[in-house]
């Protein structure tokens, strides 16, 4: 996959995640040289490989997306009330929930690789060395019911930190190829551990844009998953319903929230790809649940919630969760996207070593290797991201899909003097 050098400045909103200066994870055995490591000791051992994650390290991505969340509604106060009356009044069924729809903006930062993380094998299984990049994700709701656009005052609704890990394959215990893991924590009181097969590059690269599968949004009975419950809030024309916002007419006019999207929110990703020149795509499909259609990995993974989310168990042994997250499925598309970037007239003696150009929402820091007499363009390929995530929540007798879809661009890309982009200029 094509890539460009890492950004040269901190994210514009101040969000960043990084390692301490000079800090690299290693094993304590390395302190003693060969004494405890069978002749393999190194004073400064090399980092373990990052694989596909190397194209993300040290970078910041920003973008927009769509989020849908069915959440419990105990009724006011202190639960949710509605400008248009809903019948029956919450929390009576079927209005014991509210569908919250968010148009959002997102910032996703990655650190450099953490180094060489030893995982110890037992008996016949040898040790392995992982590497990882830390991530910090923030999300602001920008839904504007006056305009129907994602231009409202930013309201922070999500923050998450964690790591993406590159885990080498093992052939003894477990017998599994190279995987990518994601561990994350969310301040609702949730910790997730997802895993999936690492793409084998370049043989698994898809030429062009990805084929993005649909996501079902209809809740279903936990005890009988084939029995769905089609709530009025999923019908865009129904305004007297337990939904935020209730009136979606402006959004329909702008094409930002449509009936098609309420049925399948991945529509927004395919719509975004209509105007993007995607050269190739790598796919990482991950799940908290082992042995699923998302990943065939047989062990590991999981979701852990707090006591409040899990709730109590009654005298009959029946769980009474408030909103228990029990599974997460996540697909990340890492895309090489091509742009024709405008280059203004440039004189190193006059302009210094670089010039900044904002194009298609990306700040390009250009370092021309020579004087540019007349405005021109260069062809640049950058790494961009798209993802879908579906969290399954349980409360009452139903399981409630919570889908999120987003398209992210690098905030800043530096094109240095030795970049191939200048060869055709």
Closest residue by Cα to residue 392 from 383, 404, 382:
404
Mean pLDDT to the nearest integer, 173-198: 95
Per-residue model confidence (pLDDT) at position 8 = 43
**DSSP label at residue 51:** G
Closest alpha carbon to 348 in 364, 371, 365, 373? 371
Interior angle at CA 400, CA 395 and CA 405, nearest 5: 140
| Residue 202, both tokens | 């370049």
With respect to residue 338, please indicate whether it lies within any of the assigned structural domains: yes
Write out the H or E segment, with its range, that includes residue 278.
strand 278-287
User: Is 377 domain-assigned?
Assistant: yes
Q: Is residue 359 part of a domain?
A: yes
pLDDT for 274 beyond 60: yes
Strand bridging mode 278-287 / 324-343: antiparallel
Residues comprising the chain, all counted: 425
Helix (H) or strand (E) holding 259: helix 259-263
1 in any annotated domain: no
- Over the stretch 367-391, which tens digit does the pLDDT of each residue have? 999 999 999 999 999 999 999 999 9
Confidence label for 42 from pLDDT (cuts 50, 70 and 90): low
CATH at residue 207? 2.40.128.20
CA 94 from centroid of its chain's CA atoms: 32
d(CA 64, CA 268): 10
Structural domain total, the chain: 1
In this structure, is residue 139 part of a structural domain? yes
Give me the pLDDT at residue 425, please: 64
- Would you say residue 225 lies in a domain? yes
Of 256, 232, 252, 257, give the one whose Cα is nearest residue 242: 232
DSSP H helix total and E strand total for the chain: 5, 22
Q: Which tokens go with 204?
A: 């698994």
Q: Tokens for 255?
A: 């094409």
Parallel/antiparallel/unpaired status of strands 97-113 and 243-244 = parallel
- Per the CB < 8 A criterion, the answer to whether 142 and 152 are in contact is yes
Q: Which of 146-150, 253-257, 368-372 has the lowest mean pLDDT?
A: 368-372
| pTM of this structure | 0.93
In a domain, 403, yes or no: yes
* Residue-wise pLDDT tens digits, 83-100: 999 999 899 989 999 999
Domain that holds residue 395: 28-422
**Residue 96 domain flag:** yes
Confidence at 38, pLDDT banded by 50, 70, 90? low
The rounded percent of the chain whose pLDDT value lies above 90 is 80
**Distance separating alpha carbons of residues 316 and 191, to the nearest angstrom:** 28
């Amino acid at each position: 996959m094509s890539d460009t050098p890492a950004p040269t400045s901190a994210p514009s909103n101040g969000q960043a995640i990084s390692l301490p200066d000079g800090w690299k994870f290693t094993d304590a055995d390395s302190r003693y040289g060969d004494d405890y490591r069978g002749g393999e000791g190194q004073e400064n051992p090399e980092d373990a490989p990052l694989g596909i994650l190397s194209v993300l390290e040290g970078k910041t991505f920003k973008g927009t997306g769509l989020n849908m969340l069915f959440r419990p509604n105990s009724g006011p106060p202190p639960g949710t009330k509605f400008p248009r009356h809903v019948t029956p009044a919450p929390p009576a069924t079927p209005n014991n929930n509210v569908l919250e729809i968010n148009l959002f903006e997102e910032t996703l930062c990655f650190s450099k690789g953490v180094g060489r993380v030893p995982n110890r094998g037992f008996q016949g299984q040898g040790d392995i060395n992982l590497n990882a990049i830390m991530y910090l994700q923030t999300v602001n709701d920008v839904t504007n019911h006056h305009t129907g656009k994602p231009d409202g005052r930013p309201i922070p609704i999500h923050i998450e930190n964690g790591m993406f890990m590159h885990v080498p394959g093992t052939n003894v215990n477990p017998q599994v190829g190279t995987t990518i893991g994601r561990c994350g924590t969310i301040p609702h009181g949730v910790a997730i551990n997802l895993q999936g097969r690492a793409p084998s590059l370049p043989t698994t690269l898809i030429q062009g844009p990805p084929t993005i599968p649909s996501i079902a949004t209809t809740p279903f009975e936990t005890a009988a998953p084939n029995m769905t419950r089609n709530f009025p809030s999923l019908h865009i024309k129904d305004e007297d319903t337990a939904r935020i916002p209730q009136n979606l007419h402006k959004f329909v006019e702008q094409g930002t929230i449509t009936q098609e999207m309420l049925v399948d929110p991945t529509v927004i990703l395919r719509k975004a790809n209509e105007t993007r020149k995607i050269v190739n795509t790598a796919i990482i499909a991950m799940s908290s649940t082992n042995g699923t259609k998302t990943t065939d990995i047989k062990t590991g993974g999981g979701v852990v919630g707090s006591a409040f989310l899990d709730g109590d168990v009654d005298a009959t042994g029946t769980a009474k969760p408030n909103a228990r997250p029990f599974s997460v499925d996540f697909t990340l598309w890492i895309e090489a996207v091509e742009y024709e970037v405008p280059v203004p007239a440039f004189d190193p003696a006059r302009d210094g070593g670089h010039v900044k150009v904002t194009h298609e929402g990306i700040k390009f820091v250009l370092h021309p290797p020579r004087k540019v007499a007349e405005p021109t363009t260069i062809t640049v390929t950058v790494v961009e991201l798209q993802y879908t995530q579906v969290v399954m929540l349980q409360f009452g007798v139903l399981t409630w899909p919570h889908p999120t879809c987003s398209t992210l661009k690098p905030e800043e890309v530096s094109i240095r003097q030795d970049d191939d982009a200048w060869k055709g200029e």
